[in-house]
Amino acid sequence: MKNHADRVFESVRSSTAAARSAVAASWRRSFDRYGLDPSQRQEPRAVDESTLLRQKEAAGHLMHLAEPRLDELYGMIAHCGAAVFLTDRDGVVLSGRARPGDQGAFREWGLEAGRDWSEAAQGTNGIGTCLAERRALIIHRDEHFMAHNTGMSCIDAPVFGADGALVAALDVSSARADQTESLNQLIAAMVTRLSIQLETDLFRAEFSNRRILMTGEETSGAHLLAVDSDDIVVGASRAARQAFGIVREGAFDKRPLRDLTGEASVGLQGAERSAVLRAITRAGGNLSEAARELGIGRATLYRRMKRLGISER
């Protein structure tokens, strides 16, 4: 009977396995890209205390907003003997929750603050593969790459910041041998919901002085737009960026809300100021082009901008 390492080696040598299975594709990355051996026990690398402190300080805003969400998730799954962890974008565990009687077991697994659970360090695992593939997933027992990790079930969802960039992973791990697929799916729904709520918290905090619009269902992420008083979109969550074809992360060219959704805010539709600002925004700040769109001369546009209190900047 083949052991776990033999099955992994057989998969990575196959020319078709990676195309048929996301897990097999991760196993191939773990072997080819990171040079890992599934039969070798490799304890998760621990960063030193000063490095961990710096990483926590760098993630201070995230940590502040995440701690209540971790408590909420832990309150829902603690009775199952599972633990909750938050990592940074590189897979280093920043914070965790586990029952006192279970903490020793999770520590033996290497699931504690300061440990590196990136895919490069531990091969296919919930945290690392979630971050590598930027999607919610379940890595159940023998789907792990390392043989010594196959006693765990790991359920993860990525967390994206207000600028659409990956900032963290939210993880629930369990070493229960009787953990069923139906229980995994139930926990996965909780993890995904909490990760979306954390993304919403981050977005609202970043754009606390803007109006926030929800533009779609949250099943695939928080669809949020930040809009200024002139109906110009100045911020978009990752899910909203995907929905509206905006650059995936980072800064983007501001654009009128109407151009994205076909709608304007109640009370603003048809307002002269908004019409002028939309034209300028569409033109990327080129006033001659904006004037042409409005069907007026450049000098007329300047006078109108002055009257409406619109800066040339």
Mean of the per-residue pLDDT values of the chain: 89
Edge-to-edge strands of the sheet including 211-214? 211-214, 224-227, 232-236, 255-256
Q: What is the pLDDT of residue 273?
A: 75
Q: How many CB atoms lie within 10 A of CB 20?
A: 11
Position 1 confidence tier, pLDDT thresholds 50, 70, 90 = low
pLDDT tens digits, 87-107: 999 999 999 999 998 888 899
* Dihedral of alpha carbons 240, 246, 248, 251, sign: negative
If one compares 209 and 311, the residue with the highest pLDDT of the two is 209
pLDDT number for residue 219: 62
Q: Tell me the three state secondary structure of residue 53.
A: helix
Could you tell me what percent of the chain has a pLDDT over 70?
A: 94
Question: Please, are residues 154 and 125 in contact by the beta-carbon 8 Å criterion?
Answer: yes
Bridge-based pairing of strands 211-214 and 93-97 is unpaired
d(CA 179, CA 267): 54
Tell me if 152 sits within 8 A of 109, measured CB to CB.
yes
pLDDT value at residue 308: 74
Q: Which region among 3-12, 143-152, 277-286 has the lowest average model confidence (pLDDT)?
A: 277-286
Find the range with the poorest average confidence among 1-10, 197-206, 257-266.
257-266
Whether 275 contacts 258, CB under 8 Å: no
* CB neighbours of residue 48 within 10 Å: 9
Residue 266 has pLDDT above 50, yes or no: no
Q: How far apart are CA 75 and CA 58, in angstroms?
A: 27
Share of residues in the chain with pLDDT > 90 (%): 60
Q: Which two tokens stand for residue 161?
A: 């910041």
143 contacts 187 by C-beta, under 8 angstroms: no
Three-state secondary-structure class, residue 268: coil
Q: What is the mean pLDDT of residues 263-274?
A: 53
pLDDT category at 269 given cuts 50, 70, 90 is: very low
Tell which residue, 155, 163, 192, 170, has the closest CA to residue 87. 170
Output the pLDDT for position 268: 36
176-227 residue pLDDT tens: 888 888 999 999 999 999 999 999 999 999 999 998 888 766 666 778 999 9
Who wins on pLDDT, 21 or 290?
Answer: 21
CA-CA-CA-CA torsion sign (123, 128, 131, 135): positive
Which phi and psi angles does 97 have, rounded to 5°?
Answer: -140, 130
